[in-house]
Homo-oligomer: A and B are copies of this chain.
């Protein structure tokens, strides 16, 4: 098997291929033994659970696997730079070569980046990696981030982000009208179009706003992250499953020049450690989310509800219209949106007929 096919077969990224091909033999040998000390900054507070430890675990495993040849020192948000400067700092690559984040944090600047984290009525966790690894998604992501001098890696999945905490039941579309809800991002845009009075509040102000009845509802994250915020203690709540982020993927981003400076074995070590984290950390989120959800349900204040089908249908329709509007004015967005949409069409039957039947059987 020739080198090209070999590398293709084992799934080394296109960026790595180019770097390896461009080097002569002796230069490549010198490069092989070079040692690297990199800094990594993340968008997560130093004590943030599961995600920040996953970043540290990634860096440590890279260090061990490379027998110390590639050392990555991890800093949480604010330790070196603020969270939202991660993309720019890694892109410049001056002091920091690696970032830990989620692509939709950059959607203000690059709306199409969202598809590699989550999108409304989009992919479940498992569907996300089917699209990325075997449906062309990762190639699109690498092309997009390549324009910003970055190489991205899928990294971790939180699972379904819940629909949120509601002080009133949502029994029909009219219950959305005028509802004061804290919900950011694309989900917020969609709710606003459906008549919700969307309120933007910094994290620290959500709890008191709920307590004083300034807002009627809030969306935060998964049960494990929700329960830490203590929302379930504020009042009697209806807790709804989600639709706005069906399986949110986090990312590792690496400065492209720094990436290309790595010999091939270190590139494969980094890529493998990032991918490995997906299965390890998604399993961790699933376990902790399960425990938290059971606890939320067992506390008498919270009742589980489901959005009625007509509400979901409306939110889905608005979600698609909103994404189609963006696609109409942004060719890069359109290309990625259509790839995701077409892959979703392809995989839906399998998810429904395979997985959903199992969940049904489990509930009997």
Binding site for B on A (CB under 8 A): 6, 9-12, 32, 53, 56-57, 60-61, 64-67, 121, 124-127, 129-130, 132-135, 159-160, 162, 222-223, 241-243, 246-247, 264-265, 268-269, 272-273, 275-276, 278-280, 282-284, 286-291, 293-294, 297, 304, 306, 309, 312-313, 316, 344, 346-364
Contacts and interface: CB of A to CB of B under 8 A. Distances in A.
A317 to B, nearest CB: 10
A51 B246 CA distance: 28
Contacts of A67: 32, 265
A351 B357 CA distance: 12
A159 B354 contact: yes
Q: Which 9 A-B pairs have the closest CB atoms?
A: A241-B357, A290-B350, A160-B354, A134-B287, A129-B283, A130-B286, A290-B347, A356-B359, A67-B265
A360 B159 CA distance: 16
Contacts of A66: 265
Contact of A125 (B10, B126, B133): B126
Given A279-B275, A293-B350, A361 B265 contact: no
A191 to B, nearest CB: 15
Contacts of A356: 356, 359-360
22 contacts: A9-B57, A10-B64, A64-B268, A65-B65, A66-B265, A124-B358, A124-B359, A129-B280, A160-B357, A241-B354, A241-B358, A243-B357, A246-B361, A272-B273, A287-B347, A293-B354, A309-B364, A352-B362, A355-B355, A356-B356, A356-B359, A359-B359
Given A130-B290, A306-B357, 17 more contacts: A9-B53, A10-B60, A10-B61, A65-B268, A121-B361, A124-B359, A126-B283, A129-B280, A132-B283, A133-B283, A134-B284, A160-B355, A162-B354, A243-B357, A243-B358, A289-B354, A348-B362
A314 to B, nearest CB: 10
B10 A121 contact: no
A169 B41 CA distance: 58
Contacts of A358: 124, 160, 241-243, 246-247
Given A294-B349, A350-B293, A361 B286 contact: no
Nearest to A121: B361
A250 to B, nearest CB: 13
Contacts of A282: 126, 129
Contacts of A32: 67
Contacts of A129: 279-280, 282-283, 286
